[in-house]
Chains A and B, each alone.
Chain A
Amino acid sequence: MALLQIDNLTVEFQTSTGWFKAVNGVSISVDEGEVLAIVGESGSGKSVAMLAVMGLLPWTAKITADRMLFQGRDMQSIGAAERRKLIGKDIAMIFQEPVASLNPCFTVGFQIEEVLRIHLGLDKKARRARAIELFTQVGLPNPAERLNSFPHQMSGGQCQRVMIAIAIACNPKLLIADEPTTALDVTIQKQILDLIMDLQIKTGMGLIMITHDMGVVAETADRVVVQYKGRKMEEADVLSLFENPQSNYTKALLAALPENATGDRLTTVSDFFDGNPEPAPEARA
Chain B
Amino acid sequence: MTVKDTMTQDTMLEIRNMKRDYELPGGLFKPKKIVHAVKGVSFSLERGKTLAIVGESGCGKSTLARMITFIDEPTSGDLMIEGKKVDTRPGHLTQEMRQKVQIVFQNPYGSLNPRQKIGDVLGEPLAINTDMPASERRDRANEMLKKVGLGPEHYNRYPHMFSGGQRQRIAIARALMMNPKLLVLDEPVSALDLSVQAQVLNLLADLQDEFGLTYVFISHDLSVVRYIADEVMVMYFGEAVEYGTRDEVFSDPKHEYTRTLFKATPKADVDSIRERVAKKKAGKAA
Check B276 for interface membership: any CB of A closer than 8 A: yes
Bound CA–CA A267/B202 (angstroms): 9
A-contact 0/1 string along B259-286, CB 8 Å cutoff? 0110111111110111011001001100
- Find chain A residues with CB under 8 A from B220 CB: 185-186
**Interface pair B270/A267, CB less than 8 Å apart:** no
**Interface pair A258/B227, CB less than 8 Å apart:** yes
Segment of B35-43, B190-198, B210-218 in the binding face: B190-198
**Interface pair A242/B273, CB less than 8 Å apart:** yes
Check A212 for interface membership: any CB of B closer than 8 A: yes
**Interface pair B277/A215, CB less than 8 Å apart:** no
**Interface pair B270/A253, CB less than 8 Å apart:** no
Check A219 for interface membership: any CB of B closer than 8 A: yes
Q: Which of B198, B226, B261 contacts A268 (CB 8 A)?
A: B198
B-contact 0/1 string along A111-151, CB 8 Å cutoff? 00000000000000000000000000000000000000000
Check A278 for interface membership: any CB of B closer than 8 A: no
**Interface pair A266/B276, CB less than 8 Å apart:** no
Interface residues of B in 192-241 (CB under 8 A from A): 193-199, 201-202, 205, 220-224, 226-228
**Interface pair A218/B201, CB less than 8 Å apart:** no
Number of cross-chain contacts by CB at 8 Å: 109
Interface residues of A in 261-285 (CB under 8 A from B): 261, 264-270
Q: Which of B195, B267, B274 contacts A269 (CB 8 A)?
A: B195
**Interface pair B273/A269, CB less than 8 Å apart:** no
**Interface pair B202/A215, CB less than 8 Å apart:** no
Check B56 for interface membership: any CB of A closer than 8 A: yes
Check A153 for interface membership: any CB of B closer than 8 A: no
**Interface pair B273/A256, CB less than 8 Å apart:** no
Known: A239-B273, A239-B274. A189 touches B201 (CB 8 A): no
Bound CA–CA A201/B268 (angstroms): 21
In the complex, what residue of chain A is closest to B276 when comparing beta carbons?
A: A219
Task: Bin the interface of chain A by size.
Answer: 35 or more
**Interface pair A218/B223, CB less than 8 Å apart:** no
- Find chain A residues with CB under 8 A from B276 CB: 218-219
- Find chain A residues with CB under 8 A from B198 CB: 256, 258, 266-269
- Find chain B residues with CB under 8 A from A222 CB: 277, 280
Bound CA–CA A42/B191 (angstroms): 10
- Find chain B residues with CB under 8 A from A265 CB: 202, 205
- What is the distance, in angstroms, from A239's C-beta to the closest C-beta of chain B? 6
- Find chain A residues with CB under 8 A from B94 CB: none
Bound CA–CA A193/B226 (angstroms): 23
Check A252 for interface membership: any CB of B closer than 8 A: yes
Check B130 for interface membership: any CB of A closer than 8 A: no
Check B2 for interface membership: any CB of A closer than 8 A: no
Q: Which of A185, A193, A253, A259 contacts B57 (CB 8 A)?
A: A185
**Interface pair A238/B267, CB less than 8 Å apart:** no
**Interface pair A259/B273, CB less than 8 Å apart:** no
Most buried by B among A219, A253, A270: A219
Q: Which of A187, A239, A252, A266 contacts B202 (CB 8 A)?
A: A266
**Interface pair A41/B194, CB less than 8 Å apart:** yes
- Find chain A residues with CB under 8 A from B202 CB: 265-266, 268
A-B contacts, 30 of them at CB < 8 A, read: A41-B196, A185-B220, A186-B221, A187-B56, A187-B261, A188-B56, A190-B264, A193-B266, A201-B283, A201-B284, A212-B193, A213-B266, A215-B268, A216-B266, A218-B267, A219-B267, A219-B276, A222-B277, A238-B277, A239-B270, A239-B274, A256-B198, A257-B268, A258-B228, A259-B269, A265-B205, A266-B227, A267-B198, A268-B195, A268-B199
